[in-house]
Structure 1
Amino acid sequence: MSLPSKSTMELKTRTVPMRVLVLGFCRTGTSSIREALRMLGYNDTHHMDSVFRDPSQIDLWTAAIDAKFFGKGKALREGGVGFLARGLSDLPSILFAEDLVDAYPEAKVILTLRDPDAWYNSYDNTIGSMLRSRTSYIAAALNPSFYGKGFYFGRTCSAALLGKDGALKDVAKARFVEHYDRVRSLVPPERLLEYRVGEGWLRLCEFLGDDMPAEDFPNTNDTKTIREKEADAVRAVYLGVAKFILLALFLGMGIYWQTCR
């Protein structure tokens, strides 16, 4: 099973069962359903956001992805990053769909649906655009230890998910359809919920056996929000560099004034 083997959590042992695997592509409502699961009591569902909040995971996931998709290194074993959670959603977990379905036979599987054309347009206008952006490349070079690490991890995940030609619309859509067909072939119908986030609570709660919350179903991480978050992250890198340059100039001027007056 090609999954990360160590993490900052490696001294812990699983105390809760894996209950939910959300195996739909990113940009199909995986962030909204993660929030919905939190509202239902699944407080620790792993998501790409979990990786960016804990960058120590990046090297471990990268090693697992390299082993499975790019023939680099040896396959790693389950037992590490994200696998003390009650649920998994989004990248990088969906890259290991077969492994996860096999490893957790009691977990219920949710396949978040979206029309392939609508999915591609959303992906291309958010993640795809960011991964192609010249300003993002420059920000990654200016801040390699944090922004750059996340940026190149995103490119690694994208390459594994969509292939080297994944930027092409037809290729990306074909990969999308193939993934959904593969998950359907892996999971028994009684264990699988094919679900569109806009449906709301009823079918989701019936499938999971949970009571419906009084609150509205969440809607998070829309295109506008993602673009604003990325712009803020890039802006923060550029501002940090600008402040460093200004500080260096002031220090240099101070040293020059003291030594040359």
Structure 2
Amino acid sequence: MGQQASVPKAGAELQVIGAGLPRTGTASFSAALEILLDGPTYHGGTQISRGAPIEVKSWIKALQYWIKGDSASRVEMQKIVRQRLTGYTAVTDAPCSEFVPELLEIYPDAKVICTTRDPIAWEKSMVQLQSLAMAWFLRAVLLPLPAMRHFVGYTDLLAIQWKRLYGPDAGSHGRETYAKHIAWLKETVPEDRLVLFDVKDGWEPLCKALGKEVPKDIPFPRINDSEEINRTAQYHIQQGLKRWGVILAGVAVAVGVYVKVV
């Protein structure tokens, strides 16, 4: 989570499907699950933004298959999901928070836990994230980066998925979208397998849901999602600008050599 992508662990089996939307404490939740389940958590935002190019490319393909909607595409989408989540004990954050029905088919014994937050606070946070993700210069700046050059295309597909699940206004990330997500989960997930959890409540309710003892002398992880996302965005923008600097410098040298020869 945070600044580092998690690494799969041989033999690990997925036990928790994190169904909470981004900006609901998913980073803190992921860190807590790694402690309780003694294995790596696949936090979507971190794996896509900090992982190898195959991460974002795979989820782009999965979303494309999901959007097609036919049975053959669903099978291909689930193959990709299995590949990406093999070796993890839990998955959190988007895009898997919108793949809950498919994940339930793949992992029938997993518990579904949705991190929650005050809808008004969530709306404000998502508007901030949206403004960052839709910055006019982002596609050009990220172009030299092997993985992040695909990020804008990924978010475009994610927006299509959200609109299909939550309605045409989902792109605005209003509190209505948050409410529709919770309602969708209650309709999709059997009541005895769905847990709503606010990270502000700490270890006790989460441990109770998972049948685990409260960790002794280990504080519940407190990771600020907004700060982590801003830090990651700044890092990639800086890396993109550095790459462009190298590229333009190389072009300038090549042009200078050409002019001298001519």
Query: What is the alpha-carbon distance in structure 1 between the residues aligned to residue 205 and residue 35 of structure 2?
Result: 15
Query: By how many angstroms is 1:70 displaced?
Result: 4.5
Q: Percent identity over the alignment?
A: 22
Query: Could you tell me the TM-score, scaled by structure 1's length?
Result: 0.81
Query: What is the alpha-carbon distance in structure 1 between the residues aligned to residue 209 and residue 69 of structure 2?
Result: 38
Secondary structure of the corresponding residue to residue 228 of structure 1: helix
Describe the superposition over 1:28-80 as per-residue Cα deviations: whole angstroms up to 9, x where unpaired.
Answer: 11111001111224422212122330321333322222222245882213432
Instruction: Give runs of aligned pairs for residues 67-216 of structure 1, distance below 5 A.
Output: 67-71=65-69, 74-75=73-74, 76=76, 77-78=78-79, 79-126=82-129, 128-140=130-142, 142-143=143-144, 145-162=146-163, 165-169=169-173, 172-213=174-215, 214-216=217-219
Query: By how many angstroms is 1:222 displaced?
Result: 2.7
Query: By how many angstroms is 1:202 displaced?
Result: 1.1
Q: Which stretches in structure 1 are left out of the alignment for 5+ residues?
A: 1-11
CA contact (8 A) 2:114 2:195 kept: yes
**Aligned-residue CA RMSD in angstroms?**
2.7
Query: What is the alpha-carbon distance in structure 1 between the residues aligned to residue 122 and residue 197 of structure 2?
Result: 14
CA contact (8 A) 1:139 1:147 kept: no
Query: What is the alpha-carbon distance in structure 2 between the residues aligned to residue 82 and residue 209 of structure 1?
Result: 23
Secondary structure of the corresponding residue to residue 15 of structure 1: coil
Kindly indicate whether residue 55 of structure 2 is the aligned counterpart of residue 51 of structure 1. no
Q: Which residue of the partner structure matches residue 8 of structure 1? A: none
Describe the superposition over 1:128-150 as per-residue Cα deviations: whole angstroms up to 9, x where unpaired.
Answer: 1122101213214x326432212
Change (3 A) 1:226 1:136: same
Equivalent position amino acid for 1:196 in 2: D
Query: What is the alpha-carbon distance in structure 2 between the residues aligned to residue 135 and residue 256 of structure 1?
Result: 32
Q: Which residue of the partner structure matches residue 21 of structure 1? A: 17
Query: What is the alpha-carbon distance in structure 1 between the residues aligned to residue 183 and residue 169 of structure 2?
Result: 20
Change (3 A) 1:58 1:233: closer
Query: What is the alpha-carbon distance in structure 1 between the residues aligned to residue 225 and residue 109 of structure 2?
Result: 31
Change (3 A) 1:88 1:122: same
Q: Which residue of the partner structure matches residue 34 of structure 2? A: 38
Which has a greater percent of helix?
Answer: 2
Query: Could you tell me the TM-score, scaled by structure 2's length?
Result: 0.81
CA contact (8 A) 1:55 1:150 kept: no
Query: By how many angstroms is 1:178 displaced?
Result: 1.8
Query: What is the alpha-carbon distance in structure 2 between the residues aligned to residue 162 and residue 32 of structure 1?
Result: 27
Query: What is the alpha-carbon distance in structure 2 between the residues aligned to residue 159 and residue 168 of structure 1?
Result: 12
Query: By how many angstroms is 1:113 displaced?
Result: 0.7
CA contact (8 A) 2:56 2:147 kept: no
Secondary structure of the corresponding residue to residue 110 of structure 1: strand
Query: What is the alpha-carbon distance in structure 2 between the residues aligned to residue 247 and residue 57 of structure 1?
Result: 30
Query: By how many angstroms is 1:221 displaced?
Result: 4.1
Describe the superposition over 1:139-194 as per-residue Cα deviations: whole angstroms up to 9, x where unpaired.
Answer: 14x3264322123213322331245643335xx43332222112123334433321
Query: What is the alpha-carbon distance in structure 1 between the residues aligned to residue 86 and residue 226 of structure 2?
Result: 29
Query: Larger Cα Rg: Structure 1 or Structure 2?
Result: 1
CA contact (8 A) 2:57 2:150 kept: no
Q: Which residue of the partner structure matches residue 3 of structure 1? A: none
Query: By how many angstroms is 1:24 displaced?
Result: 1.0
